[in-house]
Amino acid sequence: MAEMIKLFVNGVEVEVESGKNLIDALKVVGIEIPHFCYHPALGADGNCRMCLVGIEDGRPPLVPACKTPVAPGMKVQLDTGKIKKIQQDMMEFQLINHPIDCPVCDQAGECTLQDYYMTYDAQDSRMTVPVVSKGKKMDFGCGVVHDQERCVLCARCVRFTRLITKTGELGIVNRSDEARVTTFPGRPLNNRYALNVVDLCPVGAMTSQDFRFKQRAWFLTRDKGICHGCSKGCNIFIDHNREKYKDDIIYRFRPRLNEQVNGYFICDEGRLSYHAENEGRLLAARVDGKDCSVDHAVQAARKALGPKILMLVSPECSIEEMIAIKALADAVGTKLSGYSDGYIKAGDGDGWLIQDDKSANRAGLAKLGIDATKETFNGALNSSDAVISFNNDLFIHDTGSEFRQKLEKMKVIAVSTHNNTLTQNAAIAIPVASYSESSGSVINKDGILQHFGRAVQKNTPLADMTQIAGMLGSPIVTESDIASEMKKVLPSLTEVIPEGGLKLTESEAAHVPA
Ligand code: SF4
Ligand code: SF4
Ligand code: FES
Domains in the chain: boundaries: 4-95, 102-208, 285-511
Q: Ligand 1 site: residues with CB under 6 angstroms?
A: 151-157, 181, 200-203, 205-206
Q: Is 37 in the pocket of ligand 3 (CB under 6 A)?
A: yes
Q: Partners of 368 in the beta sheet?
A: none
Cα 15–chain centre separation: 32
Nearest to residue 110, comparing CAs of 213, 216, 239? 216
Q: Could you give the angle at the alpha carbon of 367 between the alpha carbons of 462 and 503, nearest 5°?
A: 95
Do the Cβ atoms of 386 and 310 come closer than 8 Å?
A: yes
User: Which residues 6+ apart lie within 8 Å of 104 measured at CB?
Assistant: none
Do the Cβ atoms of 237 and 217 come closer than 8 Å?
A: no
Radius of gyration of the chain (CA): 27
Q: Is 66 in the pocket of ligand 3 (CB under 6 A)?
A: yes
Q: Is 193 in the pocket of ligand 3 (CB under 6 A)?
A: no
Minimum-distance ligand 2 atom for the alpha carbon of 233: 3
Q: Could you give the angle at the alpha carbon of 57 between the alpha carbons of 55 and 60, nearest 5°?
A: 65
Do the Cβ atoms of 428 and 287 come closer than 8 Å?
A: yes
Do the Cβ atoms of 231 and 348 come closer than 8 Å?
A: no
> How many angstroms is it from 354 CA to the middle of ligand 2?
6
Q: What is the pLDDT of residue 512?
A: 56
pTM metric for this prediction: 0.95
Instruction: Name which residue sits closest to atom 6 of ligand 1, judged by CA.
Output: 151
Nearest to residue 160, comparing CAs of 186, 179, 142? 142
Domain spanning 4-95: which CATH class is it, in words? alpha beta
Q: What is the pLDDT of residue 514?
A: 46
Tell me the best of 20, 24, 51, 89 to mutate to test the pocket of ligand 3, counting ligand atoms within 8 Å of each CB and taking the most.
51
Q: What is the pLDDT of residue 85?
A: 95
Instruction: Round to whole Å and give the CA distance between 475 and 456.
Output: 28
List phi, psi (to 5°) of 305: -75, 140
H-run or E-run covering 27: helix 22-28
Do the Cβ atoms of 307 and 380 come closer than 8 Å?
A: no
Q: Partners of 235 in the beta sheet?
A: 226
> How many angstroms is it from 52 CA to the middle of ligand 3?
7
Instruction: Round to whole Å and give the CA distance between 488 and 497.
Output: 15
Any idea what DSSP says for residue 459?
S
Instruction: Round to whole Å and give the CA distance between 426 and 289.
Output: 8
> How many angstroms is it from 253 CA to the middle of ligand 2?
11
Q: Is 42 in the pocket of ligand 3 (CB under 6 A)?
A: no
Tell me the best of 154, 164, 169, 174 to mutate to test the pocket of ligand 1, counting ligand atoms within 8 Å of each CB and taking the most.
154
- CATH fold group of domain 285-511: Rossmann fold (3.40.50)
> How many angstroms is it from 226 CA to the middle of ligand 3?
32
Nearest to residue 23, comparing CAs of 8, 10, 39? 39
Mean pLDDT by 10 residues, the chain (514 residues): 92 97 98 98 97 88 95 95 95 93 95 96 90 96 98 98 98 95 96 98 98 97 98 98 96 98 98 98 97 98 96 98 98 96 94 97 96 94 95 80 82 97 94 98 96 97 97 96 92 82 75 53
H-run or E-run covering 114: helix 112-116
Instruction: Name which residue sits closest to atom 4 of ligand 1, judged by CA.
Output: 157
Count other C-beta atoms under 10 Å from residue 209's C-beta: 15
> How many angstroms is it from 46 CA to the middle of ligand 3?
4
CATH code reported for the domain at 102-208? 3.30.70.20
The sheet that has 63-64: what strands, in order across it? 12-17, 4-9, 75-77, 52-55, 63-64
